[in-house]
Amino acid sequence: MDMGGLQNIVANSAYVSARGSVDGASASAMRDKKFRAKLDLPHITKCMHMKTTVDSAFESMCVKQPIGKRLFQQYLESEATHKNACELWKDMEEYNTAQETDRMQKAQKIVNKFYESQSKNFCGFLEEKAVTRVKEDHKNTRGDLFKESEQLLLKHLEAKALEGFKNSMYFLRYVQFKWLEAQPIDEEWFMDFRVLGKGGFGEVHACQMKATGKLYANKKLDKKRLKKRKGYQGAIVEKRILAKVHSRFIVSLAYAFQTKTNLCLVMTIMNGGDLRFHMYNVDEKNPGFNETRACFYIAQIILGLEHLHQHRIVYRDLKPENVLLDDAGHVRLSDLGLAVELPAGTDKTKGYAGTPGFMAPELIENKEYDYTVDYFTLGVTLYEMISAKGPFRTRGEKVENTEVERRILNDAVVYTDKFSKDCKAICEGLMEKDPVKRLGFKNNECAELKEQPFFKELNWGRLEAGLLPPPFVPNPNTVYAKDIDDVGAFSTIKGVVIDATDNEFYNEFSTGNVPIPWQEEMIETGVFGELNIWAPGGKLPDDLDPNKIPVAKGGACTLL
């Protein structure tokens, strides 16, 4: 065996071993004790100044931020006035992710407990019309049965419980976590494993957060290469969009920092490889997917696209190689380098971007376009999953891009007997050449698309919660990446000088922790539970008591 082969085996072994730390229990065993010690909460006197500056908007703090939501619910449970509302909130969330067979029973229990006026747990803040609708419709087990009630519940809690929370010890604990979240981060916090791939500006490495044990992918953008190839704008756009979106169906950005030579984007690691690899390389004699597997992936992609579009982001580069599998077999959208954010007050954009064979007619014709271009590419992607070839170009076919564009604009798509009636219908709806008639994102959601017969067996609520079992689970002992030698190395960049303007850009880029992914990491790896300790009997813990400042061993007062 040559040294390159040995190096690849060693790198793969370390990487596969680290992949065993994906759950909280295993992750704790992989922690670096020195760095874990740095994740201790400060005494409240050290961060009391943040009480008035911390993000305390209701929806952000109490609904969207995972730690904020947990602490808010703990506060609600501690107050008799709000306990019923909190129980209803949790029961509605449980209903939304329940199996269809269990929904009727759960709905009946919720109705009996919270919607009947004679019940001691009756929630009088619910409007009469909302109560009536749920009572009349609860036996139909609709996924959105409690949607209106949840909106009323949150409106009630914002009006009646928010101020009480802000004056409680639970809010002080939130401030402590926000202080910890805001601490600077750099490369010392991460241990690199093998290189996973190479992009236009640098390499992607598997890495592990030393303090928590969580595995990530570190996209390293070479500073000199970025400057030479005028990549600053694309880098900051991708970073800004990744930090803005938070969906289990889109790769998340957790950290952004710089080293001496690189700008680093630390993101969700997807160990299962990309869909193109699985379509063509796993079973080369039977390429493509069956409809059950394709349906699962397309549904998760739709949820990712819907989230992007609700945040006014057009993806523009959906294709099988940009859809990645995680350890469990769920998929996420990746590589948002070509994405564009529609400014407020603007409904459309222009610009030639995408991959030949996937681009929508209106984009090819240089017309203005909106989110509908992404649903055309979704149709192309579904077609390729089933047919193991594109609708406008056969795999391996030597053809000019102009001819591919002509086919997209003019030719009808041909379907084989691999396509069921429902699958063909949704492909035709997605690859409709007229964007006005195309299936997709309407009225700020994908409701019409989700109701297509192709998805008739799918529980969207459980899918969105990540509770539906995937049709395929990647082998945890397999590395779904090229050998290290095959990834290739970059040549040295010469003649590029980094100046003060460049450094100003790098500092703007390096914003550290991203709040929601960071909080999710703290919860998933068990760190939140280890830090969120309360005194018995509802008393104020010492670390939240301004009169109990810790004393150092030498006798001098100190702040942790």
Is 317 designated active site? yes
**What is the model's pLDDT at position 20?**
54
Domain spanning 187-271+481-523, CATH class: alpha beta
Domain spanning 275-464, CATH class: mainly alpha
pTM of the model: 0.85
- pLDDT tens for 55-113 read 999 999 999 999 999 999 999 999 999 999 999 999 999 998 888 888 999 999 999 99
* Separation of alpha carbons 47 and 363, rounded Å: 51
Establish whether domains 187-271+481-523 and 275-464 are of one fold. no
Catalytic residue from among 274, 317, 326, 543: 317
Write down the architecture of domain 46-169 according to CATH: Orthogonal Bundle (1.10)
- pLDDT tens for 398-440 read 889 999 999 999 999 999 999 999 999 999 999 999 999 999 9
Helix axes 421-430, 372-387, angle to 10 degrees: 150
Residue among 349, 385, 366 nearest 277 (CA) = 385
* Separation of alpha carbons 77 and 462, rounded Å: 26
**What is the model's pLDDT at position 2?**
43
**pLDDT: which is higher, 198 or 252:** 252
Q: Where are the domains positioned within the chain?
A: 46-169, 187-271+481-523, 275-464
* Separation of alpha carbons 382 and 319, rounded Å: 9
Beta strand extents in 250-393 (DSSP E only):
253-258, 262-268, 313-314, 323-325, 331-333, 340-341
**What is the model's pLDDT at position 366?**
93
